[in-house]
Amino acid sequence: METLMQEFEKTPRNRINRIPDRGHYDADTVYQILDEALICYVGFIDDGQPIVIPTNHARLGDTLYLHGAKASRMLKLLQEGNPVCVSTALVDGIVFARSVFSHSINYRSVVLFGRGRLVDNDTEKLRALKAITEHIAPGRWAEARLPNQKELDSTTVMAVEIESASAKVRSGPPKDAEEDCGLPVWAGVLPLSLEPGDPQPEARLETGLEIPWYVSSYHRKSDRN
């Protein structure tokens, strides 16, 4: 789905104050991180208390979709149009500097802001559930049994129109102060990534069913690259 957003306006809400060079406000960077992340963290307020809940998500255009059971506290609070903040971070590596002070993490993170809207028609609901399924494993929607009306009715889908967002990215080697560079301390980057293991077929699987391509060659890199 097409995005309308090109660049998010810098405001006090989304501005990267700490190390502003790491800040990105273009929708391409923000959305690529959001799409690569398997889960996100949804922040909202319940009676003066901040709450952060990890959950699945998907993005279509400038809309973030979340889903859950009807009884979910998070979804109840969000559908009242309350402000929401969603964050996620991809950890790319550990940055070992010679000094403790210069240690860091290589990461790509997103923080976005919007308000919840209950998705109350089945067309948009199905489109969102398809996006969430395809976000987890592109190709899966075409093969799995699709939701029936009862399942659809028992699922709440929330839309968050992305009003404001920014990304923060750190990459590359450690940056020790000049006077530390001669110290006899190993320095460098240890890359980290979320990697798949061997697929574990369910016990009662019909014989002759091959492991699908989107499972056997699973990766989280976005097609936007």
Interaction with a second copy in 137-166: which residues (CB under 8 A)? 137, 140-141, 143-147, 151, 155
Is 205 one of the binding residues for a second copy (CB under 8 A)? yes
Asked if 112 and 88 count as a contact pair (C-beta separation under 8 A), the reply is: no
- 94: β partners: 105, 190
Tell me whether strands 83-96 and 39-46 are parallel, antiparallel or unpaired.
antiparallel
Residues 19 to 38 in contact with a second copy, rule: CB under 8 A:
38
Q: Which of 20, 45, 120, 221 binds a second copy (CB under 8 A)?
A: 45
Is 89 one of the binding residues for a second copy (CB under 8 A)? yes
Q: Nearest distance from residue 95's CB to a second copy, in Å?
A: 9
Provide the 3-class DSSP secondary structure of residue 73.
Answer: helix
Q: Which of 33, 34, 84, 167 binds a second copy (CB under 8 A)?
A: 84
Give the integer Cα–Cα distance in Å for 214 and 208: 17
| Token duo for residue 40 | 């996100």
Is 109 one of the binding residues for a second copy (CB under 8 A)? yes
Is 115 one of the binding residues for a second copy (CB under 8 A)? no
Q: CA nearest 136: which of 42, 210, 40, 5?
A: 40
Is 41 one of the binding residues for a second copy (CB under 8 A)? yes
